[in-house]
Structure formats: C-alpha cells, structure tokens
Amino acid sequence: MADRPRKTPGPPSGTRSAEAGIGRPLPGARMTWHKPPAARVAGAPAHKTEPERLLRTSTSRSAPVPEAAGKVPPDGVRIAKLMAERGLCSRRDADEYIVRGWVFVEGRRVSELGTRAHPDAVITLDRQAQANQQSRLTILLNKPVGYVSGQPEPGCKPAVTLIRPETQYRTPDTPAFHPACLKGLAPAGRLDIDSTGLLILTQDGRVARQLIGENSMIDKEYLVRVAGHLDAGGLALLQHGLSLDDRKLKPARVEWLNDDQLRFVLHEGRKRQIRRMCELVGLRVTGLKRVRIGAVRLGDLPPGQWRFLRPDERF
C-alpha cells in the first residue's frame, strides 16, 4: 500500500492562505482595533482618521456630506465660542447660523446648538451667512451733549434716536436711509452724556467685538479741555500709574495740545474714565470730544449727524 501524503499545517483560523492574501481576515472573523496614541508631533498635520476629531470631511466624492452628529470629547470647545473667538461673528449670530445650518466644521454641516469641536478645527460659513454679514450696517454718529450712548436713562434720550433720514450726512455715492437700518443697531462702546464726538453703532457683531471685545486693542483718541494745574508728575500719572475701582489702568498716551487742552489716546473704555483720571491729578474736565476710533476719524461730520461706514474704511 502506497504511503498516504502527509497533511501540511494550514493557516490559523480566521486568516486566508497566501493565494488569498496572508493576514486578511475571513468574513465574520473578529478584528481587534488598537487606538492610535493621542500624542502628536508638534507641527505635524492631523490625520483624518484621528478618533478624537469626530467632525471630519468625507473623503468620498460621490457620497453627500452628512451633518455632524454627536459631540466631541469633553475637552472640545463649543463651536459658537470658537467662532466668536476667531472673529467670524458674535456668539448670538453664531447660534443663529448654527440653527440655520450655515456652519461647517471640517467640511461637515453643523445644525445642533451646543455642538463641540476640537480647538483647532477648521470652521467655515455658508454663502448665505456671508451674505447676511455683508448686509450688516455700521454707522458713525457725531453725538452731541445730552444723549446717552446706551440704554436710555430717565429724562435722557438715546443716541440711536438721531439715526433718521433728515440727520444723515450724505454724499453722492452714499446709500439712503431705510428703516431696516435700525434693526439690531446697537452702540459699540460708550460715550458719556456730557461728552461729544464719534460714536459707533452697528448691526455687525464682528465690529462690536473688534471695538469692545475683551481682547480689543483698538485705540481711541480724545480732545479734552481741562481747568486746574497739572505738573510733570501729574502728567506722568495720567500716562501710567493710576487705578480706578481698585484696578490698574492700561498705559495711555497723554500730551498737552495748548494751555487748556490735552490729547488722550486710550486702549480701554472704563466708565467716565478720562474725567475720573483727571480728578485724581487735580484737573476738572470742561469739555471732552472723541475724534478717532482705530483708523476711523470723525472728520468733518457735523454734530448730531451720521453716515455709513464706507467700504474702504477699517478700524
């Protein structure tokens, strides 16, 4: 009887032979997935398969881009907060854009309030949101004495009541007033009731954040008439060294323009700041006018009149 051929050991259960591709799992075989390490080399691009980044752009060209579902791990940041921090819009506008489905995170649409994303996630706006922003108006007003810049106080008139067709300062190339100009219009900064000059009112949350946001570095220039005596030491204190409400003031530029007028350039806007600063060094303010905010000047805008911020103007 001829010897039987010996059996050779086959591949382990759950894998194919060499012809089928060694190491590839059989249908139904259980696979073990090993989570890649969380650490990443500084400067290296994030991989699209990184599990911590739940909101990712689909690599399939044929499949529709789905809406982002779920939330990233607790260390993620609310998308509305990220949008405001990056100057894309205000927090209020961010919530509105998210609800309308006008926000994309890493290419995927987000429509649920409170959704979080990785702090360095790419966030873009739909064209409808961009068009909405471009339609937002910003107005320059030369506020006279007797008007409050913000919420009306008893017996006082809010500055926004001056935004009327008959008080518009027009040139041949400027658009006309329309009642829609008043919708959502709010002051971006304060100007005391007994102060005059440049006051910005805007519908655009980006402009408001730029001018009065926590990290704003936009400077404001004031011409201040004073009464009293100020020595060199007092001038140095106005420039740096004073505190209001137990908080130190940021450095300011202060200089004499003539015998009774000072020029102030501030990087903050505390309540009645200049008047209180002058009181601390023995001066009394008799007149205060704001003439510039950032790169935008009051110019020859008459008192009590207003105009639109021009497309070529930037703060």
Q: How far apart are CA 298 and CA 209, in angstroms?
A: 20
| Integer Cα distance of 286 and 302 in angstroms | 21
Q: How many residues does the chain have?
A: 315
Please state the separation of Cα 141 from the chain's center in Å.
23
Residue with tokens 């009051």: 298
User: What one-letter code names the amino acid at 86?
Assistant: R
Structure tokens at 181: 């100009």
**Number of helices followed by number of strands (H, E) in the chain:** 6, 18
Residue 173 annotated as catalytic: no
Q: 110: closest CA among 54, 49, 61? A: 54
Three-class DSSP category at 50: coil
Catalytic residue among 192, 231, 246, 260: 192
Rounded Cα–Cα distance for residues 160 and 83 (Å): 28
Largest CA distance in the chain: 129
Residues assigned a catalytic role: 192
